[in-house]
């Protein structure tokens, strides 16, 4: 699976905020095998050279985000700063519409996605499972979608399985990353079983009691979920089917 022409070595993307220390963050990245690190410019911008040096040394692809932006204009400005600072066209576009649920503002998102795509950015839009919005984002030039599992930091897992399944089925060839709301490795496995291409998470690992151990757990769940998907799982049935032969016994 290619993300704007880049083949990733792992289906896990990991955030860089909220760890007890940068040393623990490094450990979590190592144990997760994550291939992409998201970085936030909005709050910790500019001059924290020591921290950026540590992030760069992780040796993974950097995906700057526009976390904390509440309007298209703010997000576009932040994206331009991020491109200059991190020397990448990748941008995870977040335009927050509601401060309590942190859900995306679909209108601001589309507006910013159009502007940034026209400027040559490779946009990873943080969106809902809405199919109409997804189509509009693709029309605006996005070649990746990042639908939410649940509100950011909530750890609730996949809130709308039906909607996510429909979205996956509607755009089978578009790389899709489940972004936000995952709390447990089982949520990640489920996302992979449903056919999503990758997951992005931060809080569930950074705020675990042992972030590196949780990172390892998520990595295995992602791998398990993806293998299950590739193995073509059986369909659920209403009738019991014995797995041991019953030949030789009386049965109806």
Partner 1 sequence: MAEITIIGAGVAGLFAAHELSRRGARVRVLDRSGSPGPHGCSWWAGGMLAPDCEGATAEPVVTRLGREAAAAWARVTTVTHRGTLVVALHRDRSELDRFARRTQGAHRLDADGIRALEPDLDHRDGLHFPDEAHLDPRSALADLLADLDRRDVAVERAEATPEDIAGTVIDARGMAAPGLRGVRGEMVVIRSPEIALTRPVRLLHPRHPLYVVPRGDGRLMLGATQLESASCGPIHVRSLLELLSAAYALDPRLAEAELVETGADLRPAYPDNIPRVTRKGRILRLNGLFRHGFLLAPALARQAADLLLNDTKGELVHEDRG
For residue 112, the surrounding DSSP H or E stretch is helix 106-118
Q: Which is nearer to partner 1, 9 or 21 (CB)?
A: 21
Q: Which of 57, 92, 143, 249 is catalytic?
A: 92
User: In what helix (H) or strand (E) does residue 135 lie, and over which residues does it extend?
Assistant: helix 131-139
Q: Kindly tell me which of 70 and 80 has the beta carbon lying closer to partner 1.
A: 70
Which range touches partner 1 (CB under 8 A), out of 42-50, 80-88, 120-128, 170-178? 42-50
Q: Taking CB under 8 A as the rule, does residue 119 contact partner 1? A: no
Contacts with 218 (C-beta within 8 Å, 6 or more apart), sequence order? 12, 32, 185, 188, 199, 201, 204, 205
Residues 91 and 85: their CA atoms lie apart, in Å, by: 12
Which residue, 18 or 135, is less far from partner 1 as judged by CB?
18
Tokens of 166: 């429909």
Listed ranges 50-58, 79-87, 116-124, 172-180: which one lies at the site for partner 1 (CB under 8 A): 50-58
Q: Is 23 in the site for partner 1 (CB under 8 A)?
A: yes
Q: How far is the CB of 50 from partner 1 (least distance, A)?
A: 3
Instruction: Return the DSSP state at 128.
Output: -
Picking from 195, 179, 173, the residue whose alpha carbon sits closest to that of residue 129 is 179
Number of residues that bind partner 1 (CB under 8 A): 18
Of the candidates 47, 162, 237, 249, which one interacts with partner 1 according to CB under 8 A? Answer: 47
Min. distance of Cβ 54 from partner 1 in angstroms? 6
User: Which region among 1-9, 39-47, 109-117, 192-200 touches partner 1 (by CB under 8 A)?
Assistant: 39-47
Q: Which of 233, 224, 223 is nearest to 11 (CA)?
A: 223
The distance of closest approach from Cβ of residue 44 to partner 1 in the complex, given in angstroms and rounded to an integer, is: 4
Quote the strand ranges of 90-232, DSSP E.
90-93, 122-127, 146-147, 177-179, 198-201
Minimum CB distance to partner 1 smaller for 180 or for 198: 180
Residue 184 binds partner 1, judged by CB under 8 A: no
Q: Are strands 177-179 and 146-147 parallel, antiparallel or unpaired?
A: unpaired
Min dist. Cβ of residue 78 to partner 1 (A): 14
Closest C-alpha among 12, 36, 60, 27 to residue 211: 27
Task: Examine residue 101 and tell whether it contacts partner 1 (CB under 8 A).
Answer: no
Q: Where does residue 93 rank: exposed (0-12), middle (13-18), buried (19+ CB within 10 A)?
A: buried
- Known catalytic residue: 57? no
Quick check: 209 binds partner 1 (CB under 8 A)? yes
> Nearest approach, Cβ of 203 to partner 1 (angstroms)?
9
Give the separation between CA 2 and CA 151, rounded to whole angstroms: 26
Which residues form the catalytic set? 92
The residues binding partner 1 (CB under 8 A) are 20-24, 26, 43-51, 54, 153, 209
């Amino acid at each position: 699976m290619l993300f704007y022409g880049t083949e990733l070595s792992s289906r896990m993307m990991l955030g860089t905020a909220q760890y007890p220390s940068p040393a623990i963050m490094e450990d979590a990245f190592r144990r997760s095998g994550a291939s992409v690190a998201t970085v936030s410019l909005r709050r910790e911008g500019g001059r924290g050279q020591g921290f950026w040096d540590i992030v760069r040394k992780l040796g993974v692809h950097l995906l700057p985000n526009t976390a904390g932006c509440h309007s298209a204009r703010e997000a576009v400005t932040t994206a331009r700063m991020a491109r200059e600072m991190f020397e990448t066209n990748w941008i995870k576009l977040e335009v927050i519409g509601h401060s309590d649920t942190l859900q995306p503002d679909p209108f601001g998102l589309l507006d910013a996605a159009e502007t940034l795509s026209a400027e040559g950015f490779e946009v990873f839009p943080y969106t809902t499972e809405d199919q109409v919005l997804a189509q509009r984002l693709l029309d605006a030039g996005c070649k990746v979608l990042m639908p939410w599992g649940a509100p950011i930091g909530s750890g609730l897992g996949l809130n709308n399985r039906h909607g996510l399944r429909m979205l996956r089925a509607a755009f089978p060839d578009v790389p899709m990353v489940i972004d936000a709301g995952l709390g447990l490795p089982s949520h990640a496995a489920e996302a992979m079983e449903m056919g999503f291409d990758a997951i992005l998470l931060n809080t569930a690992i950074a705020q675990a009691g042992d972030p590196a151990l949780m990172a390892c757990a998520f990595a295995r769940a992602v791998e398990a979920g993806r293998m299950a998907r590739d193995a073509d799982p059986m369909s659920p049935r209403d009738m019991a089917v014995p797995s041991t032969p019953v030949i030789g016994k009386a049965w109806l």
